[in-house]
Structure 1
Amino acid sequence: MSANIMSRTPSTATPVWNQFERKVDEVKTTKTDINHLVMDYLITNGYPGAAKRFAAEANIQLKTDLESIHERVEIRSAIYSGDIKLAIEKLNELNPECKANEINQILDQNQSLHFALLRLQLIELIRTCTSVPNGDIKPALEFATLQLAPRAPTNPQFLEDMERTLSLLIFPKDQLVPGLATLLDPGLRKEIAARVNEAILEHQGARKEARLRHLVKTRAFAENKAREAKKDIPDKLDIGLLSETHDSTHSRNNNHVNGSTNGNGDIVMTNNGDVDSMMS
């Protein structure tokens, strides 16, 4: 399989298309480049077991501290499971040598993220108390009063978000309008978890987004611009990032990946957030 970024087009291509294909063929993507893109993705998105295995397969020296990845995975997994209190506690445990200041630097510099975490914790409390008939709503109200109410006046969006969240206590779950129902969707956990992961990476001086994801977005943007400008390009431009050396790995993944995917096509993490349990 070619490692070129875009696939060839049918033989019916016009001379302009042939020129396009010729330019594509001039871009020689090496196996080493692809391997490092994959490794960067696994590290950035928090797959320590897969990163270790891939490093051995591709003969890449793993320079990143796997422990730091595990810390991010544990925090993200706690959010995925709805244990926001545990996630915040684990955030507090990051970099114990600077424990007194580290988390304050992360959350104090990102008030929006801090509020989003607290709001998600309130949502989980509401989810618990409304899951049974005549559930006790006092813990949710106390949490909102102590944690969210003092912060709400500092930002109009905070106030609106808090009011919308507390509305979950008023309306039955089966009567929620779509705008409120989305608050109880697991997708919100994933969204906040991704923001937390990015904040930790940024605080550690790393990129917030994997190079591979950035390249895919850039390619999609360029294709859209070309089509808007009515450029004569093939009807379909595939991404061909798999090299021949990793066809077998790709096959194993297809056969053994049991997790679902989110809107971005990423494997939704299971167990402790690693993909080891989904690979042979």
Structure 2
Amino acid sequence: MSSTTATLSAKNPFFRQVEEVKTNKSDINALILDYLTIAGYPNAAAKFSTEANLSPQQPSTSIQSRQQIQTFIHRGDIESAIHALNDLDPSILDKDESLHFALLRLQLVELIRKSRPSGDIEPALEFAQTQLGPKAPRTPQFLEDLEKTMSLLVFDHDSLDPSLAALLQPGLRREVADQVNKAILESQRQRRDAAIRHLVQMRAWSEEVVRKGTKKDLPARIDLGLDGDDVENNYESMITT
């Protein structure tokens, strides 16, 4: 328990009640394994399931396939990601036009990024015309996204509007990688999100209900306890056996 929490627990009975709750270690380990599996960490999931004496939630090959595709996206190799995704399950992009467009748009961003040093924008223009141009008119959002992306060819990347600069930041790769991961999980009839995400959402909802609908004496601020004040930032700290 951190010094801040210790101070607060002396002031408000809520924290003392929380400390008295004993969480089953096997439940915590199951949550950790679930996160490693859903997020796509095959090696960590395999090692953790062995050390925590839990059965794997998915075959390692399945997790590895998702991880490989996400790795391609994080590296900016969108063409390889699309090929790998189609090899895994070609129906995913056939059924999800928005996801397909998001991947193609990200591929265009990467082509524009590569064109800056040489000034050769022909590959980016050709890709936009052949791959994205026919799809963009289908929805206003597609058209808006394409127009915004094409603006990267016009303006200096060192002085972009924040909305345009965001297209060149790692956040867009992470967003698309997360969308792809969830689409794969859904196609395999798995949950799209780790269980811990739902628990955090439920906890936030419960706190809001109690604050608005009752007169319970709650602290002004209740941390999630995920700041790691007393936890070593390494793999061993995740084992609670």
Conserved 8 A contact 1:7-1:237: no
Larger CA deviation: 210-219 vs 162-171: 210-219
Cα separation, partners in 2 of 1:25 and 1:255, compared to 1, 3 Å: closer
CA distance in 1, matches of 2:187, 2:86: 13
Please list, as runs of the form range in 1=range in 2, the aligned pairs for 1:63-102 lying within 5 A after superposition: 63-94=57-88, 102=89
Matched, 1:219 2:218: no
Conserved 8 A contact 1:118-1:148: yes
Amino-acid identity (%): 52
The code of the aligned residue for 1:253 comes to N
Cα separation, partners in 2 of 1:139 and 1:254, compared to 1, 3 Å: same
Alignment equivalent of 1:253, drawn from 213, 234, 237: 234
Conserved 8 A contact 1:8-1:21: no
Alignment equivalent of 1:48, drawn from 42, 47, 52: 42
The code of the aligned residue for 1:10 comes to S
CA distance in 2, matches of 1:88, 1:79: 9
The code of the aligned residue for 2:62 comes to S
Offset of residue 31 of structure 1:
1.0
Structure 2 residues without counterparts, runs of 5 or longer: none
CA distance in 2, matches of 1:40, 1:166: 40
Offset of residue 254 of structure 1:
7.7
Structure 1 residues without counterparts, runs of 5 or longer: 95-101, 242-246, 257-280
Offset of residue 234 of structure 1:
2.1
Larger CA deviation: 51-60 vs 144-153: 51-60
- Equivalenced residue count is 230
Alignment equivalent of 1:61, drawn from 47, 55, 62: 55
Matched residue, 2:11? 12
CA distance in 2, matches of 1:25, 1:253: 24
Q: Which has the higher contact order (CA 8 A, sep 6+)?
A: 1
More helix by share: 2
Matched residue, 2:133? 149
Alignment equivalent of 2:110, drawn from 120, 124, 127: 124
Offset of residue 179 of structure 1:
1.2
Matched residue, 1:191? 175
Offset of residue 136 of structure 1:
0.9
The code of the aligned residue for 1:234 comes to P
Offset of residue 231 of structure 1:
4.2
Find the residue that maps to 2:54 and give its secondary structure.
coil
CA distance in 2, matches of 1:113, 1:44: 19
Normalised by the length of structure 2, the TM-score is 0.86
Matched residue, 1:167? 151
Cα separation, partners in 2 of 1:252 and 1:153, compared to 1, 3 Å: closer
Deviations 1:246-273 (A, max 9, x none): x9xx5361899xxxxxxxxxxxxxxxxx
Conserved 8 A contact 2:34-2:57: no
Deviations 1:174-207 (A, max 9, x none): 2311111111111100010000000000010000
Normalised by the length of structure 1, the TM-score is 0.74
CA distance in 1, matches of 2:41, 2:54: 16
Find the residue that maps to 1:158 and give its secondary structure.
helix
Find the residue that maps to 1:215 and give its secondary structure.
helix
Conserved 8 A contact 1:7-1:239: no
Matched, 1:232 2:231: no
CA distance in 2, matches of 1:184, 1:55: 37
Matched residue, 1:98? none
Find the residue that maps to 1:93 and give its secondary structure.
helix
CA distance in 1, matches of 2:159, 2:225: 46
Matched, 1:205 2:195: no
Deviations 1:85-136 (A, max 9, x none): 0000110111xxxxxxx31x21122111110000000000000001x15x11
The code of the aligned residue for 1:251 comes to E
Matched, 1:108 2:94: yes
The alignment yields a C-alpha RMSD, in angstroms, of: 2.7
